[in-house]
Chain A
């Protein structure tokens, strides 16, 4: 069952303090991607991350999604600094239970049916087969894919695949949704549908962090964070926002 979070606008869900991220190339050269990012995101906020390519958008999202360790700085998730956690079990637990990832290219398992794809994170969470498939069915029905449960990704349209991916992100009822260009591979109609789902998350009290380079998509967000050269250069709330 989708949980409806109570609105607590003042509670800070995510806080980054002076976060740095750099890579080492094969020749030993250091490439700095994030250079001291400071950021606060409140619970239930819908945030869009924008900026030029190479500005560090995806790297920031990957750090928020615990897919990347940070090189320096602090990452508070609901008040707890997880910036120096390297233990796979804990990180996998956070990715599994606290967050839901949505990708541009959907990233569904081609061998699995829509139902199995949606249920997979619940399998990793150790849920019983009946529980997880029941919940997956319910989610898919809510999102209008009740007649596509046993279709494989190749038998679905792009919009349908992204909706399956949305259900997968929701199966463990996470508080945070992370999306990397979720409409990037969709036609405008499907993109609109996905954005409607995203604004719905807000009503459910979920925090949404979305990387995009399209202003049209970004306007659905409460706030747009611009990154340039690995730094936040602006993060103003939009007019329609109630923050």
Chain B
């Protein structure tokens, strides 16, 4: 019986194709928007998480600030890390690195990669493990030796499969460096830099021969416990101010950010964005629901006579209610499915423009679909109820 009523509902929808398609359009747009929006929101959160994956909650980053106010150039240096490490009470470990980009070539291959000139503790704090070769030594650091360790990605970029990078000489900004080691893949990023695609060397070497004043200094500091992050931040700020001989009237020539608040703020804004976008999509669905309701009212009005006949030959209110309700649910469900397909197809297309990160999820389609079915039931119910309650004689009389 139910199958027959579904069939009849489909038949009557097919009899008015243009109208059915138009009323579905709203649902299609609504659902595909929900899905796209969800993907954007999820993508933004995922991007935030990836960006800060390498950071623990104890991490505090210090970056140089340039050309602001009276401070023409930051005095922040990699050596500051050592001083913070020595003086700080709440500091467990402080490392520093100078970062920048440079063009690197080996044989016929060349690429632009990130350069990280660091002290030796940097490898520990960044969870970098050797895949082959060795780490840089204290002596090499002191002597500003031209040695480098490759990130796994950098190694695959520069070297062919099966080629051994160890002992090879690569050219960075015209200077020749010897590869002494290759790190295992870690997959994390430090801010905008992908660790795997970086080339590591003593900071002394980077400062003197490779990056010079183009490099930006980043200190990566671990507080001794998560609870002491605030104290550690205050402490290192005063150490740095003292070290940089800043007067009380002068502003800091560095920026301090702790991982917790960085991740929190970024996540919060990503979340807010996805909530706002979802809300917009929900409004689209609501409007499309009203569209469906309108169409159903017109349909009921048009088919008043049919309703009268159905009642005269023994159709119950429930039979008529379910038929009209099914029509609107079918409209919205089919619209929902088309919307899901369009949304899912759109995600890789939008992603291919590289404007933003999109993550497809199960939640998006699920939410869009259930919302569309709900819209059909909710907005179809009133017209269907009205149809089922028509007086049979009045209904029969109408043309």
Whether A92 contacts B15 by the Cβ 8 Å rule is no
Residue A183 at the chain B interface, CB threshold 8 Å: no
Interface residues on chain A, number (Cβ under 8 Å): 28
Cα-based distance from A169 to B392 in the complex (angstroms): 17
Residue B396 at the chain A interface, CB threshold 8 Å: yes
> What's the nearest-Cβ distance from chain B to residue A136, in Å?
13
**Interface hits, B339-392 → A, CB 8 Å:** 392
Instruction: Find chain A residues with CB under 8 A from B315 CB.
Output: 92, 96, 124
Interface-facing stretch out of B102-110, B179-187, B304-312? B304-312
Instruction: Find chain A residues with CB under 8 A from B314 CB.
Output: 92-93, 95-97, 121, 124-125, 172
Whether A101 contacts B313 by the Cβ 8 Å rule is yes
Cα-based distance from A172 to B305 in the complex (angstroms): 22
**Interface hits, A107-159 → B, CB 8 Å:** 107, 109, 111-112, 120-121, 123-126, 129
Cα-based distance from A101 to B393 in the complex (angstroms): 13
Instruction: Find chain A residues with CB under 8 A from B393 CB.
Output: 62, 67-68
Whether B316 contacts A121 by the Cβ 8 Å rule is no
Q: Report A166-180 CB contacts with B as 1/0, cut-off 8 Å.
A: 001100100000000
> What's the nearest-Cβ distance from chain B to residue A58, in Å?
9
Whether A111 contacts B12 by the Cβ 8 Å rule is yes
Whether A126 contacts B316 by the Cβ 8 Å rule is no
> What's the nearest-Cβ distance from chain B to residue A98, in Å?
9
Q: Report B1-30 CB contacts with A as 1/0, cut-off 8 Å.
A: 101100010011001000000000000000
> What's the nearest-Cβ distance from chain A to residue B16, in Å?
10
Residue A182 at the chain B interface, CB threshold 8 Å: no
Whether B396 contacts A107 by the Cβ 8 Å rule is yes
> What's the nearest-Cβ distance from chain B to residue A150, in Å?
14
State the B residues within 8 Å of A (CB).
1, 3-4, 8, 11-12, 15, 305-306, 309-317, 319, 392-393, 396
State the A residues within 8 Å of B (CB).
62, 65, 67-68, 88-89, 92-93, 95-97, 100-101, 103, 107, 109, 111-112, 120-121, 123-126, 129, 168-169, 172
List the 3 closest pairs (A to B, CB-CB), nearest first. A96-B314, A92-B316, A121-B313
Q: List 9 A-B contacts (CB under 8 A).
A: A62-B393, A92-B315, A93-B314, A96-B314, A101-B312, A103-B396, A107-B305, A111-B11, A125-B314
